[in-house]
Amino acid sequence: DKGTPFKFKLDQFEVIRGWYEGIATMKKGEITIFKIPPNLGLWRSGVLTSCSSEFNAYLQYGVSHVE
């Protein structure tokens, strides 16, 4: 839900690859927009794909690092 913190662990493969790479570069309190290319819109190392890879589309998320 928009505005609700979403918790995940970077080493548990709970989010798409683009989120792992983006969050890993952020500092606590930073706000940014992720523009994730189709090749990073994959779940679990490519086992399941998101719609971004099926339609060759970019995913865009507004993200705030709160913890």
**Domain of 19?**
1-66
Q: How many domains does the chain have?
A: 1
The residues, ordered by sequence, that sit 6+ positions from 48 with a Cβ below 8 Å of its Cβ are 42
Alpha-carbon torsion angle 24, 25, 30, 31, nearest 10: -90
Q: What would the pLDDT profile of 38-52 be if each residue is shown by its tens digit?
A: 888 765 554 555 555
Amino acid 43: pLDDT: 59
pTM: 0.67
Residues 40, 42, 45, CA angle at the centre, nearest 5°?
A: 105
Structure tokens at 11: 């080493």
Q: What would the pLDDT profile of 4-32 be if each residue is shown by its tens digit?
A: 887 887 777 778 888 888 988 999 999 99
- Burial (Cβ within 10 Å: 0-12, 13-18, ≥19) of residue 4: exposed
Amino acid 11: pLDDT: 74
| pLDDT of 34 higher than 60 | yes
